[in-house]
Amino acid sequence: MPDHSAHSLLFAAVASVAEDLLLITSPSVPLLPNSLPSILDRLSTLLALSPNPPLAASVLPLPQTLVNCIPFIYDAVRKRAQLVFHVIADSADNDYSHFAAMRDTGAVLLATCPDHESVADAVVLAHAIAKAVELPVVHFVGNNQNALSDVLPTLDRDAATRFLQSLKSTPIAPSVAPSVVSTPVMGYSPALSIAPSAAAAASPTASVSAALANTQLSELPPFIKRHDGAEVDQAKVLSAILEINQKLARPVPLFDYSGAPDATSVVIVLGSTSFNVESAINSLVADSKKVGVLRVRLYRPFSDRHVLAALPASVTKIAVFETCRFLSTPLSPLFVDVATAFNSGGWHATPPVIREARPEGDAASVTPEMIVKAVTLLSLSNPPVFFGAAQPTATPAPQIKEVAASSAVTPDNVEGPYIKLLEQVFANRLVIANVAGHESVWGGAGSGSAEVGFGRLLVLIQNQQRLTTLIQSLTSEKSPVNLPKPLVQSLHDWLRLPANAKSDKVLAAASEVEKHLVAIPPPAIYDGPLAELLRLRHHFRKPALWLVGGDRLAYDIGNSGVHHLVSSKQPVNMLVLDTQPYSEKVSGISATGDVRKKDIGLYAMSYGGVYVASIALNASYAQALRSIMEAEAYPGPSIVLAYSPRVGADASNTGYESLVANKRFATSVSGPLTALKETKQAVDSGYWPLYRWNPSSEEGFSLDSERIRKELKQFLEKENQLALVIKSKGPEYGVGIDASASETVRKVAERKVQDSYAALLGSLNAVPLTILYGSDGGNAENVSKKIAAEAKGRGLRVRMSTMNDEAVEDLAKETNVLFVVSTAGQGEFPINSKELWRSLAQMQKGGAVDLSNVQYAVFAMGDSHYWPLPEDAVYFAKSGKDLDAKLEALGAKRAVEAGIGDDQDPDGYMTGYHAFLPKVWEFLGVGEVEVSATPGALGPPSDDAIKESSNYLRGTIKEGLEDRSTGALAEYDTKLTKFHGIYMQDDRDIREQRTRQGLEPAFSFMIRVRVPGGVATPAQWLRMDEIADTYANGTIKVTTRQAFQFHGVVKGKLKKTMQEINQCLMDTIAACGDVNRNVMCNPNPDISELHAEVYEFAKAFSEHLTPRTSAYHEIWLDKQLVAGGEDHEPLYGKTYLPRKFKTAIAVPPSNDVDVFAHDLGYIAIVDPATKKLIGYNVTVGGGMGMTHGNKKTYPVLAQVLGFATPEQAITVGEKVMLVQRDYGDRTNRKHARLKYTIEDRGLDWFRREVETLLGYKLAPAKPYEFTHNGDRYGWTRSEHTGRWHYTLFVQNGRVRDYVSTNAKGSSAPRYKTGLHAIATQLKRDGNGELRLTPNQHVMISNLTDAQRTQVAGLLKEYGLSNEGRGLATLHSMACVALPTCGLAMAESERYLPDLVEMIEDVMEECGLDRIKDAITVRMTGCPNGCARPALAEIGFVGKAPGAYNMYLGGSFRGDRLNKLYAESLGEKEILEALRPVLKRYALERNGAEEKFGDFVTRVGIVKHGKNFHD
């Protein structure tokens, strides 16, 4: 495979094509086979930007990955994506098998070889084509790193950029003229003959490219059928390509002929083939031979006209030289294309003889000797139909060599023993297809797909059958060929070999046949049946066909290829290596904690006709050997399950490299003796039983491990479901099982039968109803649960699942189906419904699946105001509407008209729900049934009900942590874990990929550590750093509420993480949930005595409102409730608060905490004379959250309630919270925050309620003034202590190391290692703190003069200086959003830095100074407002991937909300919208003192109404 340096060279060329090119892959990261999933996910995101995706490129890790990209290419063609793939051949012979697999996708295919500068020009051409015709382009490059380094630097970036910018997109419109669709071979059928060009006649090495440019296209070609039914006019595509090519400074010779102008023999090769071909041809021409070579660089569209025009009219014989090693067709693709061209009617001379040639054996590259050999064979009077271009040998290599013990990257203590066993048993007969590749077993390259590996082995089986038929014909009395008697005899001997013959006998017979076969001299051996016999000769060894995979095959039997094998009835063997150590299994610390394995053995035995064995070399070598031999001898498919626990350093080869890299687990055992111990424990315990199941044997099922007989009862209780086979067979296979165990089996079976019978009787007369839902945010799922609960109450037999859990074949068996579908993005289906929708979308009425017996109804959910433009109305509830129409088109029977749930209705989507559902009940005949209306009976319980029944936040969290069958916690428990500071999340970057693989989401947990006031000691920082590396994703997130946050903690590590947080005197309780959360204040109590007093108040207030339940300590710290004791929440009660409650304390003139954004705020008031704290102005009712399109939700600034003295402050805050506890809305969580309580009832009413609880009236508020709401960066000195403080900008609060320089050339900051070094130094000094600011940054505080010098040096060493950053960057803030936040609709943290840099560029274009002019810029991925975007001067709120609402006019002081300026903008529209506003600000502002938000408000660019949405 090409190494990273080769990829880097190609990356350099691709990156040089244009400045605005979007690179899907990064040149700084080595391309490995496991890079593909992330590439495909990025492609999905890119294609989601349709209809205007940007010009983008990707360098793929291996040609094999092209096969995985085919669905995306089809989608890219449909969406007219300007997308370019570049891929380097993975072997010196430039095998293009996988490239050829793309030929029917509709993409443009280019092939070049880097021995020539044309590859550099082709890089430019590929992007130019993609941009001009709006079709994807695949550029296949031959494998020659040295040549790449010579030719790629010749690219002129400026010229390439200008060239691309000069092109205008001219998308090829679908054609409606032709009624006939072409065959998969896309040739042209011109009516006119084109003579050889003058250029070709003038010189033996002349190119005909210039002449081709003048060729007229007089006929329309056939058309490529796209999967959505549209067609691409390939004639126009070709014409555009030729036109673009001629505009290049060096046009790429697309159909390049070299050689004698009057050549009679011509070799045709694909453009990626080595230039050794030309070298050989030129030598022959110099020797007066009439030969030539045609190199085809434009493979699709394949132009018959241009190929024929490039050839001399004198040609009589053609050899199509192929480098396709892995073919599933008798003839190779290029050969078929060339043959089709000559049959198109465009060649008017005598048709030439066309033959196919390929390198033979293990040839590493195409050599001149091969070409000479091919031309020599071609010169024969009757050239063989198929011939090899090298002298045949007696022992050619097998067709598939993806894994062999000598070459595969196989750790000796895991896979090595089993591979060696296979090699010892089958010797040179062994053929292995690595079906799981690097993801499960090997670090090396494999086919990566079970279907691909299995398909290749099927080709070998077909060839084996063809060989047998051919030999039978040649040895019969009617043989068409007279063969030498020794050869005939050896063929007879070979045919008489038994099916279970030992390898040595098979190889001896094969050797004898081959010896006599290759003794036949040319040309006879290359003609007729002998040529076919020669081509198939490696099958004389009767290859032993094995698929080898790992654990991942067991995660989804249907999609991993296991089902394909067991249902095929073909003699293919699969070895499945289970690498999970037994100790890891029983400890619960699992590398696959979020994935459940299936029992492949049980599945295969239940299916029938499959040999199954379970082996363990370290337990019984004899049993393993016998199983392997029986599997190969079995006349059908076989599966051998092999136990091979991971050992020591080989953990990284298990397919979970990312987990290992992030130090999320390191549990593998070490040493051969430990491996032996692991195996013994696994077998002895019954976890890994040894057995053989041979359907063709009288013995049938054989138990080969003694322990299982003695402890069958224990084994039945374990996860391995093999016990079900033993139970079902009973006496037939119960020999050797003791009586007590047999009685246990009988009782268990009887009980299950009785339970099943009772359930069956209860549902015999019930009407069935299947509810399938598609839900991203949870609304559709909740509606489905509500419908299911009511349906059960009406006596229906209900089954509910996601749409993706239903196959179309199963859907056809349903009677009544109710779909509940929400709408994602611009009319897209939610992720958990896409797979079923894709299947339905591809179906046609009258196809293989009949839906005519299905009665269906659809409830479509959406927001009619989500996309505001009139032309966007089509997106409203589009998913459900499309589903309804498609089901009808497929013949399903609509039960009732589709219901529409609109978030804009008076009761939201429930308005449509109440109108729709009675019609469904009436149709099902249960409309008159009375249903209980008790709380919770007709749907999921409310949040308050969950809290009340949770036993003070316990729920079943403790039990859920013990459940190793899933990486998730129960849904209702996840509502409770928030009170413990924990959110369950999953990696949304790979959510759809895992859905396609049949896996549950990649669940993990976010943990938020409560840090009142944001102050942490150096020791605490170091523990946070260690926890991030050991248990989380290796980063620390500093939140907008001065808390630590960890992401990526898997369930198995959750409890240990919480315990270690507690050990460093921190906790997570009340960091989230419906309680008072982390209390914010200015992070530096050492600035003055005032700040120190405020910090102490923050800590005291936080402690006062912390929940008192002992559940936190019981669940996470293993504490026990005192006997006879009972939990009690004196302030919160059993139901706690209606919603979250946030508190902040500000010290004027700095409003760094954004005090008006919170439910409760304190503004410190100082006596002007004494400079002492005299009390606080109390603010209430702030909040940033809202819902897109729902004007009943909105951000609100807090209002001043009154003044409280320091002695009154805690009590006043408590009473404010209690009023909200008692009067807040507990029926609608979107209306449950304190801001709505005050908006509904008024501030005066609220003040009276608070004062009633206080028993006294609050004093009037005191005057104060805020001047800014950002952090003070750099060095400051405390007036109180004389100590130094340094505020460090941390990009969006993510403490991690950046590994590359930014676009400005600045060195990458290493926040994590740098702050670790600083904390280590401070701990060593015994002085200093690290403090979290309200704006996501870090303050290094309380330093002596000597420490300042030390810290300054460390800041410089790790690139942590704030210097050079624009003020917009320094005043920017973003929430986490994707990939972990389940609420995110768009990117935020990962995108804002790039966008702010672009905004700063626009500022400078407009005459502003990025270093002097400060503008607050904030972004969130959803409208919940975590980064407080409604207070920003420029705020962005994500609406869909790549689309944001833009708000302008917030105050730089944090005391005015911004207003909506424009909706649903992409990056380009954002910059275009800001440019004139910033220009006007630069020209018209009232001096440098006027802030941007004040300016746009003053001049009326935005107008502030009565409320946020006015």
Distance (Å, rounded) from C-alpha 333 to C-alpha 95?
Answer: 12
Distance (Å, rounded) from C-alpha 1264 to C-alpha 1164?
Answer: 9
Residues with Cβ within 8 Å of residue 1454, at least 6 apart in sequence: 1151, 1154, 1155, 1156, 1157, 1266, 1269, 1431
- Among 69, 113, 324, 1422, which one carries the catalytic annotation? 1422
Residues with Cβ within 8 Å of residue 1487, at least 6 apart in sequence: none
- Among 103, 785, 1142, 1365, which one carries the catalytic annotation? 1142
Segment (H or E) for 355: strand 353-358
Distance (Å, rounded) from C-alpha 937 to C-alpha 921?
Answer: 17
- Among 1008, 1247, 1283, 1439, which one carries the catalytic annotation? 1008
Structure tokens at 911: 């308005």
Q: Which DSSP state fits 1067?
A: B
Question: What are the angstrom distances between the C-alpha of 637 and each of 419, 440, 454, 655, 1259?
Answer: 19, 22, 11, 26, 86
Instruction: Tell me whether residue 731 is exposed, middle or buried, using C-beta atoms within 10 angstroms of its C-beta: 0 to 12, 13 to 18, 19 or more.
Output: exposed
1375 an active-site residue? Answer: yes
Distance (Å, rounded) from C-alpha 652 to C-alpha 650?
Answer: 5
- Among 1140, 1233, 1283, 1410, which one carries the catalytic annotation? 1140
CB burial of 11-44 (b: ≥16 within 10 Å; e: otherwise) equals bbbbbbbbeebbebbebeeebbbbbbbbbbbbbb
CB atoms within 10 A of CB 918: 11
Structure tokens at 572: 């293919």
- Among 541, 1077, 1294, 1439, which one carries the catalytic annotation? 1077
Structure tokens at 832: 């958990």
893: left (phi over 0), alpha (psi -120 to 50) or beta: beta
496: left (phi over 0), alpha (psi -120 to 50) or beta: alpha
- Among 1381, 1428, 1453, 1456, which one carries the catalytic annotation? 1381
Residues with Cβ within 8 Å of residue 982, at least 6 apart in sequence: 1005, 1006, 1007, 1008, 1054, 1068, 1072
Distance (Å, rounded) from C-alpha 448 to C-alpha 843?
Answer: 28
Helices (H), 287-407: 304-310, 333-342, 368-378
Distance (Å, rounded) from C-alpha 1135 to C-alpha 366?
Answer: 76
Residues with Cβ within 8 Å of residue 835, at least 6 apart in sequence: 803, 804, 995, 996
CB burial of 738-751 (b: ≥16 within 10 Å; e: otherwise) equals eeebeebbeeeeee
1064 an active-site residue? Answer: no
Distance (Å, rounded) from C-alpha 912 to C-alpha 917?
Answer: 9
Q: Which DSSP state fits 1042?
A: S
Distance (Å, rounded) from C-alpha 1356 to C-alpha 279?
Answer: 57
Asked if 879 and 919 touch (Cβ cutoff 8 Å), the reply is no
The identity of residue 189, as a single letter, is: S
**CA gyration radius, the chain:** 36
3-state secondary structure at position 1257:
coil
Per-residue DSSP letters for 261-305? Answer: TT-SEEEEEETTS-THHHHHHHHHHHTT--EEEEEE-EEES--HH
1142 an active-site residue? Answer: yes
Per-residue DSSP letters for 756-770? Answer: HHHHHHHHTTSPEEE
Helix and strand numbers (H, E) in the chain are 52, 46
- Among 1426, 1453, 1456, 1459, which one carries the catalytic annotation? 1426
Distance (Å, rounded) from C-alpha 379 to C-alpha 357?
Answer: 13
1077 an active-site residue? Answer: yes
Asked if 562 and 453 touch (Cβ cutoff 8 Å), the reply is no
Q: How far is CA 924 from the centre of its chain?
A: 41
Structure tokens at 412: 């000796």
Catalytic residues: 1008, 1077, 1140, 1142, 1375, 1381, 1422, 1426
